[in-house]
Amino acid sequence: MADEQYRRDYAQHLIEQVNKGHMTRRQMLVRASVFGFSATAAGSLLAACGGGETSSSASPSASGGPAPVMGGTLIGVIPPSLTQMDPVTIYDQGGIVLVQQVCEYLIALDNENGLKPSLAESWEGNEDGSVWTFTLRQGVTFNDGSPFEAEDVVTSMDRVLDPKSGSGALSALGGLLSPGGTVATDTYTVTFNLDKPFADFPYLVCQSSYNTCILSRNLKGAFIDSPVGTGPFMVEEYVDKQKCVMVKNPKYWGKDAAGNQLPYLDGVTWTMIQDESAANLQLQSGTIDFQPQTVFQGSQALFSDPNLRVDVYPSTGIREVAFNLQQEPWKSAPKELRQAVAYCLDREALNMALFDGRSTVGVDTFWDPAVFPGSPTPAPRAQDYTKAKELLATAGYPDGLEIELTYSKYLENPQFAQLIQEQCKPAGITVKLNFVPYDAFYAGEDNVTPWLNAPMVIVEWGSRPTPGVFAQAMLLPTSTWSSSHWDNKDFASTFDEYMATTDEAKRTELGTTLSQIQQDDTPIMVAYYISQLRTQKKDIYGIQGPGSFYCIMSEAFKAA
């Protein structure tokens, strides 16, 4: 367990890294937050670094907005959840947005993917990141009046770690934290004893790991029958696939910067609408006040609506184009074949065609400073047909190649697939498109499901807070969701070292190595990072949430 001396040393190390120019002030704040430095302590670190750039943590809506107004209700629109509202198993937007109004996490995310205290006031890791100690907020009660204590954290974590619970959290925590690894040291202290070091562990107990919300230790039966949580709102009425009426939680612990009791609103009503066109028409008609996630495709009319404001947030959501190394032609071909395809893509043109230029161009590595502050700068990968043809010849395909690309009908995937097809053609690569219905794409056991077994696939991934979380999920031999089945021993061993390192200079060095290996070997293509759109009426402010559909309403209000 880290002691005070270690924290002081680490703080000094961060300051030195900034002063030497090895780290930006923004990067320093992110790393400080991961290691549990409070906002005050982080501010002191920032001051110790001297003058310069300032943090830009204010949300687009919060900056320059009017004074908060208490009371009132808002109507939001979300897609209906396919399943019952169960925090342990939710995975779709509708379910997650609702649960996150009622339940909270040990740590919250700010609008730039940084960590901020929530039910945990502070946290710290030991030197190799294998033991993490969280100090819990005191005086918090669940909306049924029962006190929030360490035992609630233990039961919540053990619940999602039980395979019988069906929680998706197990896929991220499996191999890192075992049942029994979460220990209540005292009433307000919890220790996580990890199975192996993991420097980004706090991200796995924050809201982006949405199944790890803290539920009451007394929870029995279906959550929706007794929706008890510590969050700012409570469920008053829930009608499957139609609506959820929420009212403010009078016992909520949160206060704003001025000391006002949160939430500002008296309530939020969520209307569930599956069809994007229908939702957009309701926004335009004024029936609906806001939409946490607006899909770019088909929503262009919202941008020019004089009554609406569409905020654009940076996000780390991607479309992974994976080369399955267990299938031909990739199985027998060297990496040059994959690189040839990667050099066919004009990423700027894709961004313009698919998102009107509103997204961020990707270059086939997760360690990309454009989206993850602190990442090394990767080599550019612009469209280059001459190079692509040379690589094809080196790979043994001088006369061109025919490949099959499998994808599902999900947002821009069909257009993306067609653009890949067109952009590959001049290099002599014929892409045969294999469209599969969304359900069929993810159907079947792991050894038959198309998304993990087709030769080349487009897979949609939501935001992840760090490059390591992405890599852990899809690029290691042990990854549950590896569509590429990449097995690169250098990458895997460097990654283990990276996740067990808390020294920032060393992490940057290892991140550079990982970035180079990933980009050079090209098991997958990352052509763009998708920006997140959130639509609201022009007089609505304060909706918070990082670059995904997370939607924190505690400081939302309608201007007078």
Could you list the residues that contact other proteins (CB under 8 A)? 82-84, 89, 91-92, 163-168, 170-171, 174, 222, 240-242, 271, 273-275, 277-278, 281-282, 284-287, 437, 439-440, 442-446, 451, 480-481
| Shortest Å distance, C-beta 448 to other proteins | 10
Closer residue to other proteins in complex, CB, 174/414:
174
| Shortest Å distance, C-beta 274 to other proteins | 6
| Shortest Å distance, C-beta 168 to other proteins | 4
Backbone angles phi, psi at 494, to 5 degrees: -65, -35
Counting Cα atoms < 13 Å in the Cβ hemisphere of 146 gives 12
Closer residue to other proteins in complex, CB, 39/82:
82
Give CA–CA dist 125/1, Å, rounded: 6
Cβ atoms < 10 Å from Cβ of 33: 23
Strand pairing category for 401-408 and 429-436: parallel
| Shortest Å distance, C-beta 471 to other proteins | 16
Give CA–CA dist 465/155, Å, rounded: 25
Closer residue to other proteins in complex, CB, 168/376:
168
Closer residue to other proteins in complex, CB, 12/242:
242
Question: How remote is the C-alpha of 2 from its chain's centroid?
Answer: 28
Closer residue to other proteins in complex, CB, 39/222:
222
Closer residue to other proteins in complex, CB, 178/421:
178
Closer residue to other proteins in complex, CB, 204/273:
273
Q: Which residue has the tokens 């654009």?
A: 312
Angle 347-355/413-424 helices, nearest 10 degrees? 150
Question: How remote is the C-alpha of 54 from its chain's centroid?
Answer: 24
Closer residue to other proteins in complex, CB, 29/273:
273
Closer residue to other proteins in complex, CB, 326/516:
326
Q: Tell me, what amino acid is at 93?
A: Q
Helices in 426-466 by DSSP H: which ranges? 438-441, 450-453
Q: Which residue has the tokens 């924190």?
A: 552
3-class SS of residue 440: helix
Give the sheet arrangement for strand 182-186, strand by strand: 120-125, 131-136, 189-193, 182-186
Give CA–CA dist 528/413, Å, rounded: 12
Closer residue to other proteins in complex, CB, 156/167:
167
Mapped to the 3 state alphabet, what secondary structure does 213-244 carry? CCCCCCCCCCHHHCCCCCCCEEEEEEECCCEE
Give CA–CA dist 481/410, Å, rounded: 18
Closer residue to other proteins in complex, CB, 112/289:
289
| Shortest Å distance, C-beta 134 to other proteins | 24
| Shortest Å distance, C-beta 440 to other proteins | 4
Give CA–CA dist 216/275, Å, rounded: 35
Q: Label residue 441 left, alpha or beta by phi (over 0 means left) and psi (-120 to 50 means alpha).
A: alpha
| Shortest Å distance, C-beta 59 to other proteins | 28
Closer residue to other proteins in complex, CB, 241/331:
241
Q: Which residue has the tokens 């993810």?
A: 442
Give CA–CA dist 190/452, Å, rounded: 37
| Shortest Å distance, C-beta 269 to other proteins | 10
Question: How remote is the C-alpha of 380 from its chain's centroid?
Answer: 24
- Residue 7 contacts by C-beta under 8 Å, 6 or more apart in sequence? 35, 37, 124
Give CA–CA dist 166/172, Å, rounded: 13
| Shortest Å distance, C-beta 152 to other proteins | 23
| Shortest Å distance, C-beta 169 to other proteins | 9
Give CA–CA dist 552/535, Å, rounded: 14
| Shortest Å distance, C-beta 484 to other proteins | 16
Q: Residue 381 has which token pair?
A: 């990968």
- Residue 16 contacts by C-beta under 8 Å, 6 or more apart in sequence? none
| Shortest Å distance, C-beta 395 to other proteins | 32
